[in-house]
């Protein structure tokens, strides 16, 4: 049998995992700084928990799990005979892999509401699964890194999430544009265009603007029955140069003006904060997920930066305010807001920009190499002293030829090696080599420990 990977999934070598952990550790340090606590939820959720939360397109991307045992025993025979997959699914699958971390978080909050102090701030770093068509930057299994706060309508948290995005990407040395809009503005757009009942469909069409352009959006809107005047009004809102202009357009449209007011409140909270990246108010930002009700975010690589100009990647983060996501699970009027970091895409961009050059690819800081059996026993005892000092270290498990030992050390990319032979055992001065510079010294084990600690 020829081994192969499932399309849209990847193996991760130790070097890759170390780099990815650098991203996770960096994000975690920012999340903790802003007062968020860790949370984990199961990979599987009830299918009913997930369906209807991501729009029609999102529902199609759920990985359903067949029921245990003979899953056809209770299958809908009519649906089976008619090959009606949508009706058949309900009778053969009751569970699915989670699509994102937000809906499971809402489910957790409802189940644990008596033990939670609101507002509740959590971060979550776990994999999610989507039955998508694999392509560059798009995988079927990938990690999300989420921060959410639930139980408060304060727009202070929207401002805080802008700061979290800014600080996290600055720490990763990756320049980004943080795009900000409000779903109420899109609701106002639908009213202004004269099609308030098509708000969701118009939003989905606008969400594709960067992929299909205005001609494509116009065709989508035409299929919805929106005439030329309606299309021109949609363009007028999206292309509004600033908030004052949009206020004039939305005169008398209460929901649109409310969205503008919320954006202005977020800006007020951020007064005096010096962004390291770019925050951009963008009226074209739609975010297709149906549970968003207020401010929405999307983050993309800033290609105006010379070193990043050739990066071709979609969004590497996004999120927004949801007014009542927990309501569907029985906990009404509990507003929340959160954002997600697309770890897989962030990794790919950082790899392309060589931003991992200073990240250790080996978990061991030093490797002991023995020239003979006596040296192997001697080295194993010396290794215990290094580990007792809290230094990550390992030893090659047998005596071998020097050239082969060094070839192994090169391959595992360990930063230092300790070389032990009969001469080193007799003198106590061990060979200590820096694998980056090639410099080699003769030092006793105590001096080696001190030097490793000082690194």
- Provide the annotated binding site for L-histidine: 100-102, 130, 144, 148, 287, 291-292
SS3 192: helix
For residue 409, give both structure tokens.
Answer: 């050390």
Query: What one-character DSSP code corresponds to residue 139?
Result: -
Which residues lie across from 337 on neighbouring strands? Answer: 149, 321
The Cα–Cα gap between 448 and 429 comes to 10
For residue 334, give both structure tokens.
Answer: 């509990």
Rg for the chain (alpha carbons), in Å? 28
Q: Taking Cα atoms as reference points, which of 96, 176, 113, 183 lies closest to residue 150?
A: 113
Residue 142 and residue 267 in contact, taking contact as beta carbons nearer than 8 Å: no
Count of CB atoms within 10 A of residue 13's CB? 10
SS3 413: coil
Placement of tokens 């108010």 in the chain:
281
Residue 42 phi/psi, 5-degree rounding, is -65, 155
Residue 417 and residue 409 in contact, taking contact as beta carbons nearer than 8 Å: yes
For residue 292, give both structure tokens.
Answer: 């968003």
For residue 333, give both structure tokens.
Answer: 């009027």
Binding-site residues, in ranges, read 100-102, 130, 144, 148, 287, 291-292
The Cα–Cα gap between 402 and 393 comes to 19
For residue 336, give both structure tokens.
Answer: 């929340």
């Amino acid at each position: 049998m020829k081994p192969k990977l499932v399309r849209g999934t990847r193996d991760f070598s130790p070097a890759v995992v170390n780099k990815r952990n650098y991203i996770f550790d960096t994000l975690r340090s920012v999340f903790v700084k802003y007062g968020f606590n860790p949370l984990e939820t199961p990979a599987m959720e009830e299918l009913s928990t997930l369906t209807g939360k991501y729009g029609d397109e999102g529902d199609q991307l759920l990985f359903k799990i067949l029921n245990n045992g003979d899953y056809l025993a209770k299958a809908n025979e009519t649906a089976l005979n008619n090959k009606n997959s949508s009706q058949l699914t309900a009778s053969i699958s009751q569970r699915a892999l989670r699509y994102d971390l937000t809906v499971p978080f809402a489910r957790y909050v409802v189940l644990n509401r008596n033990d939670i102090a609101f507002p509740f701030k959590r971060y979550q770093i776990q994999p999610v699964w989507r039955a998508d068509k694999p392509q560059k930057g798009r995988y079927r299994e990938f990690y999300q890194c989420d921060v959410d706060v639930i139980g408060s309508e304060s727009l202070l948290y929207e401002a805080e999430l802008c700061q979290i995005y800014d600080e996290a990407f600055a720490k990763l040395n990756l320049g980004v544009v943080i795009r900000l809009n409000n779903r109420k503005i899109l609701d106002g757009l639908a009213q202004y265009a004269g099609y308030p009942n098509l708000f969701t469909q118009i939003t989905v069409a606008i969400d594709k603007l960067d992929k299909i352009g205005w001609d494509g959006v116009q065709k989508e809107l035409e299929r919805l029955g929106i005439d030329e005047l309606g299309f021109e009004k949609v363009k007028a809102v999206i292309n509004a140069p600033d908030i004052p202009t949009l206020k004039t357009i939305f005169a008398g449209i209460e929901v649109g003006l409310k969205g503008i007011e919320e954006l202005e409140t977020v800006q007020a909270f951020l007064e005096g904060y010096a962004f390291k990246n770019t925050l951009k108010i963008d009226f074209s930002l739609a975010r297709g997920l149906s549970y968003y009700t207020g401010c929405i975010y999307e983050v993309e690589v800033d290609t105006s930066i010379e070193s990043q100009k050739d990066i071709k990647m979609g969004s590497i983060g996004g999120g927004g305010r949801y007014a009542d996501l927990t309501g569907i699970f029985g906990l009404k009027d509990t507003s929340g807001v959160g954002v997600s970091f697309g770890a897989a895409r962030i990794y790919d961009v950082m790899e392309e920009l060589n931003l991992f050059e200073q990240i250790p690819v080996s978990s061991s800081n030093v490797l002991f190499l023995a020239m003979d059996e006596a040296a192997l026993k001697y080295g194993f005892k010396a290794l215990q002293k290094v580990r007792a000092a809290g230094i990550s270290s390992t030893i090659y498990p047998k005596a071998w030829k020097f050239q082969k030992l060094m070839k192994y050390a090169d391959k595992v990319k360990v930063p230092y090696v300790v070389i032990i032979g009969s001469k080193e055992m007799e003198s106590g001065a061990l060979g200590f080599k820096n694998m980056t510079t090639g410099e080699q010294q003769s030092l006793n084990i105590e001096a080696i420990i001190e030097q490793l600690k000082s690194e």
